[in-house]
Amino acid sequence: MSTVLRDQAPEADTPEYVLEARDVSKHFTVRGPLGGTTVVRAVEDATVRLRPGQILALVGESGSGKTTLARMLARFHEPTRGEIVLRGERVSGNRRAQRAYHSEVQLIFQDPFGSLNPLHRVRYNLDRALCLHQPHLTAKGRETRIAELLERVSLTPAADYTTKFPHELSGGQRQRVVIARALAVEPKVLLGDEPISMLDVSIRLEMLNLLKGLRTEDGLALLYITHDIASARYLCDEIAVMYAGQMVESGPKEDVIASPQHPYTKLLIESSPDPERGVGDRDKLFAGADELGEPPSLIDPPTGCRFHPRCPFAMPECAVEAPPRTELGGGHWAKCWLHAKGRAGELAGTTHAAATVARREKLQGAS
């Protein structure tokens, strides 16, 4: 069984998917600096499908739209277009349905300290979730469950932690409490929005192993949102890459990492630390990286392919028309004109930075 992500028109109801975002877009209307309003197109026509027990990494730099997509999946943002579907049923917006939804889908935030009530002890933080979502439990039953949850996230003995305030815990312990609280409602899906990025490097691996365990032992589906391709490589089954609010590539982890088929994915992977690459190679790799420029504005995104102002492989048509999706086999796809024009071989023959340098030299030679 594999996690399936399709950036395409919705199909008929498919209850084997525990959670889907079907062709969702999110536009925010914001005030401009000179008055009036303007629209931020944070996510455009993204589709995500998760099966039980699978981990999908959603990868991209800041501002790529991955957090907005997660917040739509968590029902904190209503999609401007498209729909969120839980086990084959479109979810409604009323308050009661919202609570039922959050019994099945939980979002883990980046900052564990901000996720917990600092005025209350660990016991209260967990007990509140149990009171809301497991109302059949007695006080004694909740106390037993709290101990089980803390042990599930390796905070043992549990009695050492229930009476602590969040500020008395380390960052890693706090994030474990946040995960325990998410598990208190017995969800089917966890949405982890950069769940390890604020933790000390020394405990990130422990946290990734905890998340892996939740998938294998509890059968949870996990959407793991990160800008860090190395942790995605360690944790997930499949990778989806977002750039400037759009999905640009997706597929099985091994295929995407070993053979990225979109220049932006190639850039992300080549910029990621890899112990198998030597220092000298890394120097070469980053030789042109500074010339890549900034991500585009989502208020007035580039025409055509949104990556074209930063892409060393760009062709004239890239600035005019959005590239079609090309199926590459085995569930791997990419949206890049190189495929449609039969020039995909150029990707494999160079690094992103070397292509950037070559392009600059070509442009200088032509001027």
Q: Which stretch binds ligand SF4 (CB under 6 A): 81-89, 216-224, 274-282, 302-310?
A: 302-310
* Kind of pairing between the strands at 19-31 and 81-86: antiparallel
If the CB atoms of residues 262 and 325 are measured against ligand SF4, the closer one turns out to be 262
Cβ(136)–Cβ(128) under 8 Å? no
Our CB check for ligand SF4 shows the closer of 166 and 304 to be: 304
Q: Answer yes or no: are the C-beta atoms of 212 and 206 closer than 8 Å.
A: no
For residue 157, whether the previous peptide bond is cis, meaning omega lies within 30 degrees of 0, is yes
We find the least distance from the C-beta atom of residue 293 to ligand SF4, in angstroms, to be 13
Enumerate residues 6+ apart whose C-beta is below 8 A from 188: 18, 19, 52, 87, 104, 105, 220, 221
Q: What's the token pair of residue 208?
A: 């990734």
166 binds ligand SF4 (CB under 6 A): no
> Nearer Cβ to ligand SF4, position 162 or 261?
261
Bridge partners of 41? 27
Helices marked H in the chain: 66-73, 95-102, 112-115, 122-133, 139-152, 159-162, 171-184, 201-218, 229-235, 253-258, 263-271, 279-285, 337-340, 345-348, 352-366
226 with 8: CB under 8 angstroms? no
Separation CA 176–CA 182 (nearest Å)? 10
Residues in contact with ligand SF4, counted by CB under 6 A, come to a total of: 14
107 near ligand SF4, judged by CB under 6 A: no
Indicate which single residue of 192, 251, 263, 296 sits in contact with ligand SF4 (rule: CB under 6 A): 263
215 vs 262 by CB, closer to ligand SF4:
262
Lay out the site mask for ligand SF4 across 222-261 (x = CB under 6 A, - = otherwise). ----------------------------------------
The least distance separating ligand SF4 from the CB of residue 260, rounded to whole angstroms, comes to 11
Contact between 187 and ligand SF4 per CB under 6 A = no
Q: Which residues within the stretch 332-351 sit at the binding site for ligand SF4 (CB under 6 A)?
A: 336-338
DSSP 309: G
Nearer to ligand SF4, 166 or 323 (CB): 323
Minimal distance in Å, beta carbon 308 to ligand SF4?
4
Q: Which of 48, 221, 318, 344 binds ligand SF4 (CB under 6 A)?
A: 318
3-state secondary structure of 29: strand
Binding-site ranges for ligand SF4 (CB under 6 A): 262-263, 305, 307-308, 311, 313-315, 318, 323, 336-338
